[in-house]
Amino acid sequence: MSSIENVPDPEGVARVYAELLSRAPENKIERRIQPLRRAMEVLGDPQKAAPVIHITGTNGKTSTARMIESLLLAHDLRTGRYTSPHLSSVTERIVVDGEPVADEAFVRVWDEIQPYLQIVDAELEGNGEHRLTFFEAVTILAFAVFADAPVQAVVLEVGLGGEWDATNVADGDVSVVTPISLDHTDLLGDTVEEIAGEKAGIIKPGGFLVSSAQEPDAATVLLERAREVGVPFRFEGVEFGVEERVLAVGGQVLSLRGLAARYDDVMLPLFGAHQAQNASVALAAVEAFIGGGERPLQEELVREGFAAASSPGRLEIARTSPTILVDAGHNPDGIRASAQAVKESFGFSKLALVVGILKEKDAPAMFAQLLEEYGDLVSDIALTQSASPRAVPAGELAAMALDAGFAEEDLFVTEKLDEALDWAAGRADDAEDLGGGVLVTGSITLVAEARLLLGTDAARDARGTGEA
């Protein structure tokens, strides 16, 4: 890239973000794929400019995508990564070579493709349909940025579901499915089997399926889809997986059985058994991508890739004294996995929770899970809300927490996140053995705002903030 591409342009990014936000918001899902195919057609098929690793699932998608990217970078491949939502800046969604797309490229490419998007918008409106949504437009922008860079491999995370998700306009050389559980049931179905059916839509002829261990009903759906389209399939716990894991300062050391070899002494600077499992899936996906699952990777490059992996907002230490963790646990299974990691990796004698949840989530089930996982550790819980219009009001959360079994005297209710953080930090400091901590969880919008308030490096450096 030329030096001019690295010149910050916060005003330009803010303008583009405002134009994107003028479209239907991210939570207004259109069950359609044809407008994306039309947009790709008028833009010259940028989704075909580089091979794709396509990732779906309920939990662990972003962490797995980031680990896949890190492994590819260690193998000297130029990468494009598309994930959502963003924590601090919209440019975080579109990543080239491990860094958010440069402001210049973000603004320039958007301005270049906008006339073509207007063609598609006009055709949609002429047919009585809604114009391209926020997520559809950002997805198109990502493909255009990656083609413009150009990159050698695209790591592509679905927004929601799979079959009719905007990202499914691309055909994955490797399809990756992380653990499937109940979430977004109003859109994806009421059973794990139905949700798996939606997510199986990313498995395409000519590809390769790599899946986390799944519930039997979900695994059956994925296997049937793989056989239907004639692609090889590999499942965690059968053909690959975590052989050993040992806690270490700043994370864990793993022995991983891949598709083609075993890799020992792998340092992963992330916490929890679930991240070790994500690492095994990421490794298998890269083995499938680079060598068809039959050729071992260089062990030193595997170690280098995992050592460089990060996952902001996922059990991230945002501050010490007291330790404040931020974790975007947005459904019961996510809360369960992170709780196991908290109890395993941190020696808290007392934990204060700061919780904020979005309206489309199953808040009662999340509170029930929080109580089940942290009941013996938590006696203080702050109920609050992010600035998102989709946030459940703090007062309503308090009623749900009481219904779940939390004691009224343990609750602190405030609409202001800074007040919630200050109160929780004070409660953690009161731990007699100084072993108290704080966990901020419930929604990614809450985590994003907490990171900014707490001065987390990545948040301080953000060049444009906001939430779709």
Q: Which domains, ranges and CATH numbers included, belong to the chain?
A: 3-235 (3.40.1190.10), 316-460 (3.90.190.20)
How far CA 185 is from CA of 195, 323, 330, 363, in Å, comes to 8, 35, 14, 13
pLDDT at 2: 38
Distance, in Å, from the CA atom of 442 to the CA atom of 334, rounded to the nearest integer, reads 9
DSSP-derived 3-state class of residue 316: strand
pLDDT at 434: 64
Burial label, 468 (beta-carbon count in 10 A; 0-12, 13-18, 19+): buried
Distance, in Å, from the CA atom of 439 to the CA atom of 455, rounded to the nearest integer, reads 16
Query: How would you classify the pairing of strands 323-327 and 251-257?
Result: unpaired
Non-local CB neighbours of 143 within 8 Å, separated by 6+ positions: 40, 43, 46, 47, 49, 169, 170
Cα angle, residue 268 at apex, residues 286 and 438 outer, rounded to 5°: 130
pLDDT at 360: 84
Q: Which residues of the chain have pLDDT under 50?
A: 1-5, 458-468
Structure tokens at 462: 């953000």
pLDDT at 109: 98
Distance, in Å, from the CA atom of 249 to the CA atom of 317, rounded to the nearest integer, reads 13
pLDDT at 128: 96
- Taking the CB of residue 320, how many other CB atoms lie within 10 A of it? 8
Q: Identify which of 66, 80, 71, 100 has the alpha carbon closest to the alpha carbon of residue 150.
A: 80
How much is the pTM? 0.92
